[in-house]
Amino acid sequence: MTPEIAAAAVPSTLDVARVRADFPILSRTVNGKPLGYLDNAATTQKPRAVLDALTSYYTGINANVHRGVHELSQQATDAYEGARERVRQYFHAASTREIVFTRNATEGINLVAFTFVKQRLQAGDEVLISAMEHHSNIVPWQLVCEAAGAHLRVAPIDDRGELLLDEFERLLTPRTRIASITHMSNALGTVTPVREIVRLAHAKGVPVLIDASQAAYHMRVDVQALDCDFLVATGHKLYGPTGIGVLYGKEAHLEAMPPFMGGGDMISSVTFEKSTWNVLPYKFEAGTPDIAGAIGLHAALDYIDATGLDAIAAHERDLLAYGTGVLEAIDGVRLIGTARDKASILSFVMDGVHPHDIGTIVDREGIAIRTGHHCAQPVMERFKIPATARASLAMYNTREELDALGRALRKVREVFA
């Protein structure tokens, strides 16, 4: 265990048995063994409260929103807009006009790339990201840069997986049109110094998008405290349904941006000659939205807050420290990503064993981990490895599951001895 991680470990106060009882899927078996779900960075499991919210929406008030005068439509609209207000509270935005529902984080980043950034981007301009971004925070920028003849700049990371802040600062130039940086790396677990990132960028007049896809279910994310210009999150990692995501944008930016997609609901008037746009945030929500998804996300955020993000974070810190110890005790295992500020991700390689073989063998023991490049191929390149095995933690995980992972990895060792 690294001293930093050991020092971070504090006793957990979370009643994990009670939490686990709220997640129906956790009681199933896989390959005849109790499920040990350690693939939370890919998606989290859903508490019964979320499943119930989806069912009661469809059985009680299913109707399209914003369009009907009938009672069901009004109830569905109230529930959908109630979800927006809940998201506003969760991320502490100043106004619901700043909360746009998207399909996922990827759509939020594309929206900003193709509306806020694309029309400001001239040949020779720059977009700044970091070397530990998820593909969804790389490829949209490549698309808009390529179209404009602009350049994608990449702030490097060190061998621990920490962002080199001085390099980041150096790469902020008068040509930088946006910096788009992860709050927490899905491949390494690194938590980035987002406040400092925003401060440095703003000092040079550069707006900042924060990708909070991973951070948002592990720690408090406050858009006003961060002073970020945009932030994206994705519902299915927040213990909510798939198909719903969140884009936060400062109102002045969103007002100035053209629509991303055209269609119903995002207009104020339409003629064949000209259409005009709806007010915020509807200008960015073309077509029937994921009403059920928003309502499910509302229930998920209620569940997280009722459980307590501080208690969740303390429990996950304990698991991270414990899991680090479990992995370090296994012959030939090397952790990839040892940042001093790190959360809930144990990415590792094992001498002489391909990560896919690790994943397959531990699956036979009922343990779900992810193997591959984790949609972060440049991170793999940075560490000169093809892939890692990754165990990622959430509020319902236990030390026993990490022990089971350790036993399964010893079997991997035996098979490849």
Ligand X SMILES: Cc1ncc(COP(=O)(O)O)c(C=O)c1O
**Residues belonging to the active site:** 375
Handedness of CA 19, 21, 22, 25 (dihedral sign): positive
106 counts as binding ligand X under rule CB under 6 A:
yes
134 counts as binding ligand X under rule CB under 6 A:
yes
* Cβ burial 122-133 (10 Å sphere, 16+ → b, else e): eeebbbbbbbbb
Specify whether the CB–CB gap between 192 and 181 falls below 8 A: yes
Closer residue to ligand X, CB minimum distance, 61 or 345 = 345
The binding track of 253-282 with respect to ligand X, each residue x by CB under 6 A or -, is ------------------------------
Closer residue to ligand X, CB minimum distance, 20 or 135 = 135
CA gap 187, 392 in Å, rounded: 10
- Smallest gap from residue 186 Cβ to ligand X (A): 3
CA gap 270, 293 in Å, rounded: 28
The binding track of 146-185 with respect to ligand X, each residue x by CB under 6 A or -, is ------------------------------------x---
Alpha carbons within 13 angstroms on the beta-carbon side of residue 370 total 21
Closer residue to ligand X, CB minimum distance, 370 or 413 = 370
CA gap 400, 417 in Å, rounded: 25
Closer residue to ligand X, CB minimum distance, 234 or 398 = 234
Specify whether the CB–CB gap between 213 and 186 falls below 8 A: yes
Closer residue to ligand X, CB minimum distance, 238 or 321 = 238
Handedness of CA 233, 234, 240, 246 (dihedral sign): positive
- Smallest gap from residue 142 Cβ to ligand X (A): 15
- Smallest gap from residue 300 Cβ to ligand X (A): 14
- Near ligand X in 368-387, by CB under 6 A: 375
347 counts as binding ligand X under rule CB under 6 A:
no
Nearest CA to 83 among 54, 41, 105, 40?
54
- Smallest gap from residue 188 Cβ to ligand X (A): 10
Please give the C-alpha separations between residue 54 and each of 48, 240, 249, 262, in angstroms, as whole numbers.
10, 10, 27, 28
Closer residue to ligand X, CB minimum distance, 77 or 234 = 234
What is the size of the binding site for ligand X (CB under 6 A)?
Answer: 14
Closer residue to ligand X, CB minimum distance, 211 or 365 = 211
Specify whether the CB–CB gap between 356 and 387 falls below 8 A: yes
- Smallest gap from residue 213 Cβ to ligand X (A): 4
Nearest CA to 389 among 344, 356, 342, 417?
356
The binding track of 40-59 with respect to ligand X, each residue x by CB under 6 A or -, is -x------------------
CA gap 189, 347 in Å, rounded: 8
- Smallest gap from residue 355 Cβ to ligand X (A): 17
**Site for ligand X (CB under 6 A): which residue of 12, 110, 130, 136?**
136
- Near ligand X in 195-234, by CB under 6 A: 211, 213-214, 234
Q: Which amino acid is at 38?
A: L
- Smallest gap from residue 131 Cβ to ligand X (A): 13
Q: Which one of 133-141, 162-170, 197-205, 325-333 is the stretch in contact with ligand X (CB under 6 A)?
A: 133-141
Determine the number of helices (DSSP H) and then strands (DSSP E) in the chain.
15, 17
Compute and round to an integer the Cα radius of gyration of the chain: 22
Residues near ligand X, by CB under 6 A: 41, 104-106, 134, 136-137, 182, 186, 211, 213-214, 234, 375
